[in-house]
Amino acid sequence: MGYRDIKLKLPSDYTEGELRRAIEKALGIGSFTYRIETKSLDARKKSDIHWLVRVAVVSGELGGSPPPAAEPLCIPFRKGRGRVLVVGSGPAGFFSALILQRAGYETTLIERGAAVAKRADGIRVFEKTGRFNPVGNYAFGEGGAGTFSDGKLTSRTKKISREKDFVLSSYIDAGAPQEIAYMAHPHLGSDNLRKIVHRLRKIYEDAGGTLLFETMLQDLTVREGRVIEAVTTAGSLAAAHFIIAPGHSAHETYRMLIRRGVAFRAKPFAVGCRVEHPQEIINRALWGKERLPGVKAAEYRLTSRAPGRLPVYTFCMCPGGVVVPATAYADTNIVNGMSLYGRSGKFANAACVAAVDLQDLLGRSVCASEALDWLGELEARFFSHTGGFQAPCCRIGDFITQRPPTAGLPESSYPLGLAPAPLWELLPGAISRSLQDGLGHFGQKLKGFDTGIIMGLESKTSSPVQVVREKNGPCAGVANLYVVGEGSGFAGGIISSAADGIRTAMGIIEKVA
């Protein structure tokens, strides 16, 4: 059998029959099998929006040999390797636990939040009543913060192809759509993620792993440069290795680690707000029409850097999504975005944030604890302004011109209500000024952008601190302790966080092999 790899230009609403006919025409063959390798939407010209599809074709009518298959992740098994405690069930924690369990370790995975079904129930009650639930919220619980998000699977991290393939195939085995293996911008949607993390849990437990929900890490016992045990709400747990995947919100976990001598440093991160528009405005701006057959909803990625200002960019854009109250604690007010797989909601939202280096912003050296203090105070300021979980909000045009906000804000997807507020006064001055310039620039790029609303505080794009690691992975000065994923400051998003957890697990396996 011969092989060819070809690229095709196809209509936005092409069918499988049209794809097969395009292959027949391009190669002049009639009998073949094919596999989609990559698929991306080319919307550079509104009059000619189309899919670019790369297809691997196998046929007896062709010459040529297929390229060698990518090398899969190989997990060496040896029974009785020892005990490992993993803290945090987000992508980094879960995949590190799964890898180690399959390698022959006895793993226990603890999660401070609830199992996904109970977590979803807690969120529903929170959004109806405003009563915050510490174990059933958007920040903590089974699958981590990403479970209730758009479920984006893109990553700019290089040299993680084996780890990425393992994660994607694991998701597909757990019920994710096959397209995540080839789409240029794959996403799962929160509706799919809730089912997927539940099925992944079953896979982990069937392999012999133990998962304890509503179990919080409180402290570590450290002696002579090694962790002896973890103190948790379920009692003390001893292990040979300890992996902590705290995510970007568990500030008390960061502080506990710092008290126990784990070295952290402040790192650049981003702070801003979330913007929202009717999805049809974004569709018209990018496509020239309100609907495009075969495509769910238009999405954007915008950047701006005015002279003398901080870099501004959009992040975590959720087409057809909703803005959600994503606070991790009862006394802070934070927003984030979420969308379902179909992306069929009325609104589009995205974080609009300014890149911040606190040392430059404050004009002095800043340690990790100070970075946590600075961010915590900002999050509490937004809560104090409304006295709860209403989102401080104004029109984008008013934010740009600093025009006092008025009542009568447009309809929004945010479930706990909006409160008119001078957001530019709640944010630090340098961040406000940079966002004002950036939003003005975005309005020039996308027609109608300045008619939207801007709300709340978006402060969880990444961790404000980064752990100091030894070259082979463990925390500096603590030989058997590993901090991984977004909470480590070395990863961001589902794929890179999962890859960080996998690499940490493989490093432990190789170290004692």
Question: In sequence order, what are the residues at sequence separation of 6 or more whose Cβ sits closer than 8 angstroms to the Cβ of residue 390?
Answer: 416, 417, 418, 419
pLDDT at 513 over 70: no
Does residue 311 come out as left (phi exceeding 0), alpha (psi in the -120 to 50 range) or beta? beta
The C-alpha atoms of residue 205 and residue 197 are separated, in whole angstroms, by: 12
pTM for the whole thing? 0.96
How far from 135 is each of 110, 129, 215, 466, CA to CA, in Å? 13, 16, 10, 25
Question: In sequence order, what are the residues at sequence separation of 6 or more whose Cβ sits closer than 8 angstroms to the Cβ of residue 174?
Answer: 195, 196, 199, 200, 203
Instruction: Tell me what the pLDDT averaged over the chain comes to.
Output: 96
Q: Are 116 and 194 in contact (CB under 8 A)?
A: yes
pLDDT at 471 over 90: no
pLDDT at 472: 77
Domains and CATH numbers, the chain: 2-59 (3.30.70.2700), 82-264+465-511 (3.50.50.60), 269-458 (no CATH)
| Residue 294 burial (C-beta neighbours within 10 Å; 0-12, 13-18, 19+) | middle
Helical segments of 409-493, H only: 423-426, 429-445
Nearest to 254 by CA among 464, 111, 109: 464
- Tens-digit pLDDT profile for residues 249-308: 999 999 999 999 999 999 999 999 999 999 999 999 999 999 999 999 999 999 999 999
Percent pLDDT > 70 in the chain is 100
| pLDDT tier for residue 67 given thresholds of 50, 70 and 90 | confident
| pLDDT tier for residue 201 given thresholds of 50, 70 and 90 | very high
Name the one residue in this structure whose structure tokens are 């004009």: 363
| Residue 328 burial (C-beta neighbours within 10 Å; 0-12, 13-18, 19+) | buried
Does residue 318 come out as left (phi exceeding 0), alpha (psi in the -120 to 50 range) or beta? beta
pLDDT at 507 over 80: yes
- Tens-digit pLDDT profile for residues 309-360: 999 999 999 999 999 999 999 999 999 999 999 999 999 999 999 999 999 9
Percent pLDDT > 90 in the chain is 95
Give the number of residues written for the chain: 513
Radius of gyration of the chain (CA): 24
